[in-house]
Amino acid sequence: MKSYFLIFLFFSGFYLSAQIKHGGVLDSHGTRGVINPDSISHQKDSLRSKVPKLPATDYKIFTLSNDTISVDTTLSIRRYYRFNPQFRDDFAYLCFQNMGQALTRLTLEVQAQDLLGGFVATSKLADDWHHTQIPFFKTPTPYSDLSYINGISQGQFVNAVFATNINSQLNIAAGYRGLSSLGFYQRSIVGSGRFFGDLNYQNKSGRYKLKAYYYTFEKTNDENGGLKDPSQFETGSSDFADRSRIEVNLSDAQNQLKKRRLFIGQSYGILKNKFSLLNRSVYQSQQYRFTQDKPNDILGHSSQVNSKFQDSVSLKTFENFAGLQFKIHKIQLESGLRFIYQNYSFDSIKQLNGRVLPQSLIYKDLALDSKLQVQLGRLSVKGQLNIGVTDNIAGYFLKGDFIYTLPRNFVLSGQFKSVSKRPDFKYILYQSAYDKFNWYEPSFKNELIQQLKAQLSHKTYGKLSLNQVVINNYTFFGRDSLPQQDATGLKYAALKYSNDFYYKHWGLSADILFQKVLSGEDLVSIPSYILRSTLFYSHYYFQHNLYVQTGVTAKYFEAFYARSYNPIVADFNEQRFQKIGAYPLIDYFINFKIKRFRFYFKLQHVNALLNKDTPDYYVAPLQPYRDFNIRFGLRWIFFN
């Protein structure tokens, strides 16, 4: 990753040099203009000249899904919820004790983003970006975004993004995210790195457009297999107040996930730009490894007795889309054919009970892809349809989103998703040095997923949302840690209400979720309710230059059978031997903002100080939740 920093510094220096030589700045349209002499300070150094101040709304971030947002520099309770290594609200999740480890889900999630099945090691993807999440920028002046969060026990999290426009036609961006955290318990070290570099270009006529990016992601976890003797934790003995003294099940296990992705997308307008020829190519390489010095009976039997081994699996994917886009007024339609190559492979050929497991699964397929966007007055509609043409991916992916602005500032939005896709590769074929974790299930049927989301929102009255999911042929890791496919059907429904109430300088934020598995209770265990409330005080000081926000957050959910974590496959399986939950999580925080600088300080899980004698807070079976600890971090955005 050091090479990425050198490249970043080289281009930053090159750009700064170009700015000095040209003696100008970029205006809001990205064109180079002459500095107003009246704005030049009396210093001899021209670099200290005043730069025109532009609003944050002039700095745009958008993705390949055409979701565009303005840069947000505010400090609010909702932004406080998102200040974590995932940069998203963790209301529906519970973090493992160390930053960057797995997350326990508290709701049912539908992960499907396409008609293609996923890879392995799902627990490592909480801070990964899939293809449509890569950010592109359109900035009138150079833009920088720096974030820092202290690690658990030792370490830190750092995120840095730089974006600028070389001219009105070309915008470039690069970002690096690094995490290193020791954790409280033995063998819980986490290290990860994420880099992206992209460009957004169009020629002067606007007919030719190019978007490209390069993305890498890597995460390495030491795995301890959970507590060897839970009583060392639960009795609250002072001998184990230092959590590193508690015995764990594994002392030599580690897993690692690596991803590389390259994307190039082009379009060329014809017939007065009403039609555009499209071509998009994506190459991605993924590799997962589990290593151990010698087998451990806690994970199962292995034929490789007293020998170091390494389970390794990779997936190489190449996709090429060619199609046509049509635009007229506020309607945009595109359609084309996508070629898909997938190579899912292991290092060796395995035998299981006299049955030979294939070393690889190689697929070459075609899919018909279409997208639609319509803007009709107050109604905005987006649609996506992918149809597998060949047998290996015989299925479809249909998604529709809409937003409708109602009278009196009410907004109604919703999403419908219907998917028929092959289960993830991890369920179909897997090979390991542990005898149990070898399987080949080519007879698994397509998962059939139907999801309906609806949300009614208002700035004053809050947000009320409904989520309904029906899954047939639901595929999962069962209580024996082996892949299973259900034939009875899974039905799920959830209702959530969120709102922030204010009175003078005081505020109350509330999130309430009620959910139920209507059919298939043996397949999925979730709490029937999740509650979160924050009482906070906000005020400006020093002539509105300093904004301070302080308060207390409490989160509570019903006890349930959380899924058990399996370090071999870096994933979760169902269990029914240990419940977690029914304990409060209380944090105290104080945050402040000066211009575009925001500082966050939190005393996390303060009520653990009152429960030292009988700690019973777990995030998963044999995996304790975090003890009381002090967290702090900052985020600083620069526009020049």
pLDDT > 50? residue 633:
yes
| DSSP code at position 606 | G
| Residue 334 belongs to a domain | yes
| Same-domain status, 46 and 63 | no
pLDDT > 50? residue 34:
no
Query: Three-state secondary structure along 350-403?
Result: EEECCEEECCEEEEEEEEEEEEEEEEECCEEEEEEEEEECCHHHCCEEEEEEEE
pLDDT > 80? residue 306:
no
Average pLDDT, the chain: 90
| Same-domain status, 424 and 553 | yes
| Same-domain status, 170 and 287 | yes
pLDDT > 60? residue 19:
no
| Same-domain status, 457 and 487 | yes
| Same-domain status, 45 and 127 | no
| Residue 75 belongs to a domain | yes
Q: Indicate left, alpha or beta for 191 from its phi (over 0: left) and psi (-120 to 50: alpha).
A: beta
Q: CA end-to-end span of the chain, whole Å?
A: 26
| Same-domain status, 19 and 121 | no
Tokens 């730089």 sit on residue: 162
- Taking Cα atoms as reference points, which of 587, 469, 621 lies closest to residue 107? 469
Tell me how many domains the chain contains. 2
User: How many CB atoms are located within 10 Å of the residue 185 CB?
Assistant: 24
3-state SS, residue 122:
helix
Last residue of a domain, one of 51, 71, 90: 51
| Residue 105 belongs to a domain | no
Residue 172 C-alpha from the chain's centroid = 22
Domain CATH number, residue 353? 2.40.170.20
Reported as a single tens digit per residue, the pLDDT across 311-349 is: 999 999 999 999 999 998 889 999 999 999 999 999 888
| Residue 104 belongs to a domain | no
pLDDT at 356: 87
Of the listed ranges 86-90, 364-368, 511-515, 551-555, the least confidently predicted one is 86-90
Higher pLDDT, 65 or 473: 473
| Residue 103 belongs to a domain | no
Q: Please, which residues bridge with residue 534 across strands?
A: 509, 553
Residue 256 near residue 295 (C-beta atoms within 8 A)? no
| Same-domain status, 422 and 518 | yes
Tokens 């932004």 sit on residue: 79
| Same-domain status, 394 and 529 | yes
Reported as a single tens digit per residue, the pLDDT across 404-458 is: 999 999 999 999 999 999 999 999 999 999 999 999 999 999 999 999 999 999 9
Give the structural domain span for 44: 1-51
- Taking Cα atoms as reference points, which of 200, 155, 206 lies closest to residue 180? 155
| Same-domain status, 377 and 277 | yes
Q: How far apart are CA 473 and CA 20, in angstroms?
A: 62
pLDDT at 71: 84
| Same-domain status, 431 and 498 | yes
Q: pLDDT over 70 for what percent of the chain? A: 92
* Number of helical (H) and strand (E) elements in the chain, helices listed first: 4, 39
Q: Which residues contact 2 (CB under 8 A, 6 or more apart)?
A: none
Q: How far apart are CA 491 and CA 449, in angstroms?
A: 10
Residue 315 near residue 119 (C-beta atoms within 8 A)? yes
Residue 325 near residue 334 (C-beta atoms within 8 A)? yes
Residue 296 near residue 249 (C-beta atoms within 8 A)? yes
pLDDT at 52: 61
Average pLDDT over residues 155-167: 95
**Strand 170-181, strand 155-165: pairing:** antiparallel
| Same-domain status, 39 and 79 | no
| Residue 259 belongs to a domain | yes
| Residue 373 belongs to a domain | yes
pLDDT at 168: 87
Query: Three-state secondary structure along 48-61?
Result: HCCCCCCCHHHCEE
| Same-domain status, 28 and 67 | no
Tokens 């889309």 sit on residue: 321
Reported as a single tens digit per residue, the pLDDT across 116-150 is: 999 999 999 999 999 999 999 998 899 999 999 99
DSSP codes, 553-581 = EEEEE--B-PPEEETTTTEEE--SS--B-
Reported as a single tens digit per residue, the pLDDT across 267-288 is: 999 988 899 999 999 999 999 9
| Residue 433 belongs to a domain | yes
Burial class (CB in 10 A: 0-12, 13-18, 19+), 244: middle
